[in-house]
């Protein structure tokens, strides 16, 4: 496992450089071949998520629990995708 308790939701492990030793999460690569847009992408992702939450109304089509099982690909897609009803907020 990469982190202790890796299967539990714990976003605090990434705050303030927490557990950064060893570069366990290298989404943008390292060294000379690291993504030049890494800083911009990391700053914009919060704005993007906030805009999606603020500008749309999200509802599940059914009340059944969402299956969070992983697929068997390199990028770990979901095994079963859920359908959401997404409405643009009119306010």
pLDDT at 65 over 70: yes
Token reading at 58: 């999200």
Over residues 23-34, the pLDDT tens digits come to 556 788 888 888
DSSP symbol at 64: S
If you search the block for the tokens 């095994």, which residue do you land on?
79
Q: What share of the chain is helix, strand, coil (3-state, %, to 5)?
A: 30, 15, 55
| Angstrom distance (rounded) from CA 30 to CA 38 | 10
More confident residue, 86 or 73: 86
Q: How many residues does the chain have?
A: 91
In the chain, count H helices and then E strands. Answer: 1, 2
Q: What is the mean pLDDT of the chain?
A: 76
pLDDT at 48 over 90: yes
- pLDDT computed for residue 7 by the predictor: 82
| Angstrom distance (rounded) from CA 77 to CA 91 | 34
């Amino acid at each position: 496992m990469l982190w202790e308790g890796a299967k539990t939701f714990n976003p605090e492990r990434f705050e303030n450089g927490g557990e950064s030793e060893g570069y366990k999460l290298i989404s943008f690569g390292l060294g000379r071949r690291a993504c030049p847009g890494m800083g911009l992408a990391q700053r914009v992702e919060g704005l993007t998520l906030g805009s999606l939450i603020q500008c749309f109304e999200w509802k599940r089509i059914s009340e059944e629990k969402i299956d969070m099982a992983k697929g068997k690909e390199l990028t770990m897609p979901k095994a079963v995708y859920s359908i959401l009803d997404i409405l643009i907020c009119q306010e």
